[in-house]
Amino acid sequence: MADRTHYVCQSCGYEALKWMGRCPSCGQWNTLQEEVIEKKAPERVKKSIKEPQLIGVVGKAKEGERFSTGFGELDRVTGGGIVQGSLILIGGDPGIGKSTLMLQVCKNISGDKKVLYISGEESVQQVRMRGERLGISDEKIYLAAETDIYAILEIVKALRPDVLIIDSIQTVYDPDLSSSPGSVSQVRQITSHLMRLAKGMNVTTIIVGHVTKDGSIAGPRVLEHMVDTVLYFEGENRLMYRMIRAVKNRFGSTNEVGIFEMTGSGIVEVKNPSEMLLRGRPLGVSGSCITCSVEGTRPILAELQALVAQTTFGIPRRMCTGIDFNRMLMIIAVLEKRFGMMLGNQDIYFNVAGGIKLTEPACDLAVALAIASGYRDVCLSEGLVAVGEIGLAGEIRPVTQPAKRVIEASRMGFDAVIMPHENLRGLEQPEGIKIYPVKDLQQALSIAIRSM
């Protein structure tokens, strides 16, 4: 009797009885692959049933069961350190520096913790060579090159480490499954084994997974509901800066962000990102505006640049890096409709200097001012910072944590802040900086560009 098969989407994990060109769940094309349905049924072991308890009777969890990674930026993102016995997923583009970061974390914690580093992509000799480049030689880090999940489990049970790192999840396989390593079925099964291991033996487990920018590679996207914490390592391979974000965290906030710098001797944390992002800022150039974005509890100053030029084609070109493309198009439409700027025949290229991504709408006002400055070819004041959300009527809406933004601007030497009028209530103004409250975009434009 032939084995029964089904088709599994390698992007989202959707299962179908027959092949389809397009996945009904995620809409991706040619992602359904045939996999054999295992006929062997696992033997069920009778377990003792635990009686339910009232929530007021359940004992409190122990506080302070966290340990530092040695990187203040990574501790910030994880909520103050890694919780012992948690299951963490670190995803990112291939070659972004995930393995380097994990090896440096092993170095930092190996003095107090027993660390086991499982490499499925490199031999132990290759890992040692990479460790020597990072200054890791005599640390008590146990290495193993293994891809069979049952062999990994036996190694862990024999060594009983405090921290287990799997690099990467796409290379580990379960021999009981017929699908190839890296498929949705394999990755889900491997993570299930590791989850039981982490919770049963109280072993902190960190999984490394490769993901493209759209999340099309099977793996981390289908594991987010299984793990405790999901971290994404972002950045461009050609740029030196990296950013790590938490998109899920059962033990802390998901709004924090950590910034690192990739150097020849490894990854170094950036403790003052505002200074780093403003380094090399051009002066006396149109199309440049400074904004202050709050990532979690940290205010970050960033330079927004807009290049506006006459188009030579029938349809103007729009390109942006670092902000949402549709958000930029909305701001351009507001400038055209409400303020009469003829941008329909202008190419607009927008960039956030430093290669970081800004997601909060408080950057809208700076985006509009940078585009208006580039269109009018008028330079903004060098000491100006702009924050505020723009509505479709051209109004400036309030932003969160205005005091932190003003203090950060003053600390970095700026002398003026344009911000929503509603945020002025109860705001203490630091010495040496002037605040310009505005209600609509027209007021902001008249203040920022004096010639308009």
Q: Residue 160: which CATH number? A: 3.40.50.300
Both 233 and 334 in one domain: the answer is: no
Using the 3D structure, point to which of 220, 244, 271 is the last residue of a domain: 271
pLDDT, position 26: 83
- Whichever domain contains 324, its CATH number is 3.30.230.10
Confirm whether 391 is domain-assigned: yes
| 166/29 same-domain check | no
Rg (CA), the chain: 26
Print pLDDT tens along the chain (452 aa). Answer: 456 778 888 777 788 888 888 988 888 888 888 776 655 555 555 556 667 878 777 666 554 588 999 999 999 999 889 999 999 999 888 888 899 999 999 999 998 899 999 999 899 999 999 888 888 877 789 999 999 999 999 999 999 999 999 998 889 999 888 778 888 888 888 999 999 999 889 999 999 988 754 544 445 567 788 899 999 888 776 677 888 988 889 988 888 888 898 888 889 998 888 888 898 888 889 999 999 999 878 899 999 999 999 998 888 999 999 999 999 999 999 999 988 899 999 999 999 998 788 889 999 999 999 999 999 999 998 899 999 999 999 999 999 999 999 999 999 999 999 999 999 988 887 888 999 999 999 999 999 876 34
> Are residues 406 and 426 both part of a single domain?
yes
Asked, for residue 58, whether it belongs to a domain, the answer is no
Co-location of 120 and 22 in the same domain = no
- Is 42 a domain residue? no
Identify the pLDDT of residue 1: 45
How confident is the model over 60-101, as pLDDT tens digits? 655 458 899 999 999 999 988 999 999 999 988 888 889 999
Confidence (pLDDT) at 212: 56
Both tokens of residue 79? 């909520």
**How many distinct structural domains can be found in the chain?**
3
Q: pLDDT tens-digit profile of 393-430?
A: 999 999 999 999 999 999 999 999 999 999 998 888 78
Q: Are residues 88 and 184 in the same domain?
A: yes
User: Which distant-in-sequence residues (6+ apart) come within 8 Å of 196 by Cβ?
Assistant: none
- Is 48 part of any domain? no
Res 37: pLDDT? 66
How high is the mean pLDDT of the chain? 86
Domain end: 271, 294, 324, which one? 271
**pLDDT attached to residue 61:** 54
Same domain, yes or no, for 418 and 293? Answer: yes
Residue 104 covered by a domain: yes
pLDDT at residue number 46: 57
**Same-domain check for residues 165 and 221:** yes
43 falls within a domain: no
Identify whether residues 365 and 410 lie together within a single domain.
yes
Same domain? 339 vs 285: yes
Do 371 and 295 fall within a single domain? yes
Residue 55 lies in a domain: no
Question: Are residues 359 and 325 part of one domain?
Answer: yes
Asked if residue 256 and residue 150 are part of one domain, the reply reads yes
Q: pTM for this structure?
A: 0.75
Give pLDDT, residue 297. Answer: 80
Q: Which domain holds residue 27?
A: 5-36
The pLDDT assigned to 178 comes to 78
Domain boundary among 236, 254, 271: 271
Residue type, 9: C
Query: Distance between CA 278 and CA 274 in Å, rounded?
Result: 6
47, part of any domain: no
